[in-house]
Amino acid sequence: MLSARAACLFHAVFGGCWRTGVQLELYVLSVSGVSEKNPRHDLYFATQHEPVAHEQVSRRSRQCVRVTAGELLLISGEEPSLIAMAPGAMTRIAGMRALTAPSSTLARSLQRSCAARREMSRWSKVPLGPEDAILGVTVAYNHDPNPKKINLGVGAYRDDEGKPFVLESVRMAERILLEAENAMEYLPVAGDKTFVKNALKLAFGSECSAAPGFENFAGMQTLSGTGACRMGGELLARFYDAPDVYLPTPSWANHTPIFKDAGCTVKGYTYYDASTCGLDFKGMVADIEKMPPSSVVLLHACAHNPTGVDPSKAQWDQLSALMREKHLVPFFDMAYQGFTSGDADVDAYAPRKFLKDGHHMILAQSFSKNFGLYGHRVGCLSFACDSVAEAQAVESQLKILARPMYSNPPIHGVRVVNEILQEKTLESKWRLEMQGMAERITGMRMKLRSGLEARGSAKIWDHITSQNGMFCYSGLTPEQVGRLSTEWSVYLTKNGRISMAGVTSRSVEYLADAIHAVTK
């Protein structure tokens, strides 16, 4: 039980500064004469601060202690006693100091400390946000001690040893740049103009880039494909009359917040057929036919994320004609050029067809996957305009948007891309390496499908090889995905998306065992 003096101290302190439910910080005090049997106790009390994980109370080390707002811990000897419980939050000891003083002096000191802490807590109303779904998969994987564990959540290429892969063409370009001893000055706000031209040539081909009207493109270097989509959304929200952006269902998870945060209204259209694990082209066409004129339609140019399901060339032709008829604006996101077929020109069929058909299209490009420049954030955004003057106006507004946002884009990655695309030997080597990456992923698709079929699975797995690019939309349920992680240490996102780049020759049979076990 509390002595009368300790009880008075508790009420004096908490009566003035404690509120139920406030997150707290603990201070340690040594108080004389709290009881007759123990002339000296350690009194733990709570003041406002953020919560952290609790630890065992230790009289000797005075480490972290778990308490609730309004609880009082009285330490007698080696064991803590919990008294005066009230609802609240868990927290930590911080700023520990020893005080010996009469209760009135102590109470005033504590109240001042509480008031000061409240004054300092400017961000207490900021809520804790949810963990990113894909990053959460990696966190769980990293904490798993199983030597057979597999991470199939990350959208980044891995070699057949499961290790990050740096292209030799990139290393060669870097050595050339190192010897050139280039300056490290700021790039212009719109980025490297040579890079923008090279990016457009890669997207639309050398013949298209030399054709009349190609100078009507407005373009800028961006912070990879994410930055390209965001800058495109920002311009639409600020200057376009009807900034309704239609996304395929499903789409890359980041597309929705990108365009919503830019100020666009995000809507959806039919894309994936769960019953076949393929494209619902009939539903897609029906939804596009219902869209109001001038709507913006986001299209994955190739290797659709997350499904790996792409329209055929004939279907792309039909979509181009339909969108021209409906006066819709195509917004292509091309993050995986070369990862579908292994040929960058083949994978660019859709945007090239739409450009040829006269669409005023928008194109976002990423160089993270096909050049392996993930951390360098290399991207490009371009608008097909009616005239040079219109292109100049669009580009001027893009620069106005970028200047207060990030000022200037990074320089090293675009220099690497320029070096490769402007030097024939390096470009040839890069194209071969890109083909090799695509072929390894295709090989893993074939091995996984044959492995599942060899195990006598009752399910049909032909979609594993009919889908394209880095991802396989497996059709696994969230429950089955959960069992894969808990029973087999195989980690992927809850929607069943498998990053085929994370599958290796050593792990593919184990993965087949795991998927077969949870889908019986």
pLDDT for residue 122? 83
Quote the DSSP letter at residue 69.
T
**Angle 305-160-490 (CA atoms, 0-180°, nearest 5)?**
60
Residue 188 CA: distances (Å) to CA of 228, 375, 386, 402, 507: 16, 20, 25, 11, 46
Q: List CB contacts of 127: < 8 A, sequence separation 6 or more.
A: none
pLDDT, tens only, 69-89: 444 443 333 333 333 333 332
Q: Which residue has the tokens 């946000």?
A: 129
Spot the catalytic one: 333, 347, 430, 447: 333
Structure tokens at 385: 């305009």
The candidate with the shortest Cα–Cα distance to 353, out of 392, 322, 326, is 322
**Angle 96-97-102 (CA atoms, 0-180°, nearest 5)?**
130
The span from the CA of 300 to the CA of 304, in Å, is 5
Q: Which residue has the higher pLDDT, 375 or 213?
A: 375
Q: List CB contacts of 483: < 8 A, sequence separation 6 or more.
A: 517, 518
Q: Which residue has the higher pLDDT, 97 or 517?
A: 517
pLDDT, tens only, 149-172: 999 998 899 999 999 999 999 999
Structure tokens at 284: 């897609």
Is 160 a known active-site residue? Answer: no
Statement: residue 443 has pLDDT above 90? yes
The span from the CA of 382 to the CA of 214, in Å, is 11
- CB burial of residue 224 (10 Å; 0-12, 13-18, 19+): buried
pLDDT for residue 20? 36
Task: Give the sign of the dihedral formed by CA 117, CA 119, CA 125, CA 130.
Answer: negative
Q: How many CB atoms lie within 10 A of CB 259?
A: 27
CB 27 within 8 A of CB 117: no
The mean-pLDDT minimum among 91-95, 340-344, 448-452 falls in 91-95
CB 201 within 8 A of CB 421: yes
Statement: residue 238 has pLDDT above 60? yes
Spot the catalytic one: 369, 429, 447, 488: 369
Q: Domain 133-165+436-519 belongs to what topology?
A: Aspartate Aminotransferase, domain 1 (3.90.1150)
pLDDT for residue 210? 61
The candidate with the shortest Cα–Cα distance to 158, out of 470, 516, 464, is 470
Q: How many CB atoms lie within 10 A of CB 496?
A: 19
The mean-pLDDT minimum among 102-116, 226-240, 253-267 falls in 102-116
Residue type, 503: V
pLDDT for residue 104? 52
Per-residue pLDDT band for 254 (boundaries 50, 70, 90) equals very high
H/E element, 157: none
pLDDT for residue 105? 54
pLDDT for residue 432? 97
Structure tokens at 493: 């996102």
Statement: residue 16 has pLDDT above 60? no
Q: How many residues does the chain have?
A: 520
Quote the DSSP letter at residue 245.
E
Q: List CB contacts of 52: < 8 A, sequence separation 6 or more.
A: 64, 90, 91, 92
Spot the catalytic one: 252, 430, 461, 488: 252
Q: Where are the beta strands (DSSP E) in 284-430?
A: 296-300, 329-334, 362-366, 378-384
Quote the DSSP letter at residue 156.
S
The domains of the chain are located at 133-165+436-519, 186-422
pLDDT for residue 404? 96
pLDDT for residue 130? 85
pLDDT for residue 217? 94
pLDDT for residue 206? 81
Q: Which residue has the higher pLDDT, 124 or 21?
A: 124
Question: What is the average pLDDT across 341-350?
Answer: 96
Q: Domain 186-422 belongs to what topology?
A: Aspartate Aminotransferase; domain 2 (3.40.640)
Structure tokens at 65: 């202690």
Pairing of strands 378-384, 278-279: unpaired
The span from the CA of 59 to the CA of 57, in Å, is 7
pLDDT, tens only, 383-442: 999 999 999 999 999 999 999 999 999 999 999 999 999 999 999 999 999 999 999 999
The mean-pLDDT minimum among 75-79, 357-361, 434-438, 454-458 falls in 75-79
Statement: residue 29 has pLDDT above 50? no
pLDDT for residue 121? 76
Q: List CB contacts of 134: < 8 A, sequence separation 6 or more.
A: 153, 154, 155, 253, 493
pLDDT for residue 294? 94
- CB burial of residue 415 (10 Å; 0-12, 13-18, 19+): buried
Q: List CB contacts of 51: < 8 A, sequence separation 6 or more.
A: 23, 24, 89, 90, 91, 92
Is 252 a known active-site residue? Answer: yes
Q: How many CB atoms lie within 10 A of CB 15?
A: 10
Structure tokens at 35: 């009881």
Structure tokens at 451: 């492995």
pLDDT, tens only, 179-209: 999 999 999 999 999 999 999 999 999 877 6
Statement: residue 41 has pLDDT above 90? no
pLDDT for residue 383? 97
Per-residue pLDDT band for 108 (boundaries 50, 70, 90) equals low
